[in-house]
Amino acid sequence: MRTAATNHDVLSDKIRFRRIRLCMLLSGLSVFAQLYLFQPLLADLCAYYHVSAVTSSLAVSSSTIGMAVGLFVLAFKADSVPRARLMGFSLLASSALTLLSVWAVNFPLLLLANFLKGALLAGVSAVALAYLTEEVNASVIGLAISLYLSGNTLGGMVGRVSGTLLAGWADWHAAALAIGFVSLLLGLVFMRMLPPSRHFRPISVSVRVKLRQMHCFLKNPSFMGVFLVAALAMGVFVSVYNYLSFLLESSVFGLPHYVVAGVFLMYTAGVAGSVVMGRLSDKYSSHALLFLSLALMVVGLMLMLVMNLVCIVLGLGVLTFAFFSTHTMASRIVSMQAQEARSSVTSLYWLFYYAGSSLLGSATGVLLTDFGWEVFVLGLTMLVAMAFVVASVGLSVRRLNLVKQIINS
């Protein structure tokens, strides 16, 4: 009887893990398809609302700013709500806003809809990594996190490719309707299939305690270094995908929309980056893999300096692989190093991540419009170099603290 019961428990655990993997993959698909829906449509928004290229990028930045604000608010409230319920509600409500954005009669109204959508999507990002860390066995946590981030990658790719194609064949309204409807279906499947938490019970934590927890993480050089790396790397990545279509559709290359959509298939390299580095991180140092990923980002950017379509596409693939590798390693480092208050540290991580996306993703457009593609790419390279330095300092301080702890003990 005991053997049968044990076998049943093992089987149940396997089924539960598969459902968690599937649901987190679906949540990543929905979140990133919605969050970056307008990134490949910026040229269409320029024409429809009569705004500049830099102004049009606010359609993306407003969503990520909303995400950052939502993450800050949820840092104080996420632990008082069941994880599965919060993520499910966020997916459904954000889908409704994506559908409603189709009827934005002016650009400020579109920005408001995107801001609110981003704030709602924060309900997934605020607790997804915490949920995985709590519910998945430590021996496969690297794989689980990489699969979740792969869903993010696929969502970003599907959103960009389908959005570009639909906008080319019809207009941006068709793209928003399609992605909103699909995201709504994914949210319903997610709510039905995601297992409830076994190792988390909702608790009310005072604002003062949360602020103290966040302050501890912010003054810790090791955590702060990873937060800044996430912000800088994300800013570089979003900047490239924000403005690359302007270059490809310009007189330099003159590519039609369906070819530009094909270029965004390079997002598949991000899936490989997440999965490969996720598996390697279960065997090798996450910090070493982080530095390797940042170095690869520079290689990708250098390739994109060559005004040749093959080099630019190859460079985009290397950059995408390297960025998601960086993101996977940074996510693992913060989620595994935090022994307590995991929702607070993951919320801070995502807060910096999306702040980098919002601020740098729009600000770097000035380099492109005022100085051209080469200066734009070199500026992004400098940001990656800054991330490398910040990560090195954070790691050095962490090692020094560990040595001090050993000596004191």
Q: What's the rounded mean pLDDT across residues 133-151? A: 73
pLDDT at position 8: 45
Reported confidence tier of residue 342, pLDDT bands at 50, 70, 90: low
Alpha helices, DSSP H, located in 78-140: 83-100, 107-135
Q: Is the model's pLDDT at 29 over the cut of 90?
A: no
Alpha helices, DSSP H, located in 80-106: 83-100
Q: What's the rounded mean pLDDT across residues 300-329? A: 93
Q: Is the model's pLDDT at 6 over the cut of 70?
A: no
pLDDT at position 154: 77
Reported confidence tier of residue 343, pLDDT bands at 50, 70, 90: low
Q: What's the rounded mean pLDDT across residues 292-306? A: 95
Report percent pLDDT > 90 for the chain: 33
Question: Tokens standing for 319?
Answer: 């950059």
Mean pLDDT for the chain? Answer: 84
The residue written with tokens 């993480």 in the block is 217
Name the residue ranges covered by the structural domains of the chain: 13-408
pLDDT tens across 347-395, in order?
788 889 888 988 898 889 889 988 999 999 999 999 999 999 998 887 7
Domain made up of 13-408: CATH architecture: Up-down Bundle (1.20)
pLDDT at position 404: 62
Q: Is the model's pLDDT at 1 over the cut of 50?
A: no
pLDDT at position 406: 62
Distances (CA, A) of 193 to 17, 72, 84, 186, 408: 11, 28, 10, 11, 49
pLDDT at position 7: 45
pLDDT at position 339: 64
Q: Which residues contact 131 (CB under 8 A, 6 or more apart)?
A: 24, 83, 84, 87, 197, 200
pLDDT tens across 74-116, in order?
877 777 788 888 999 999 999 999 999 999 999 999 999 999 9
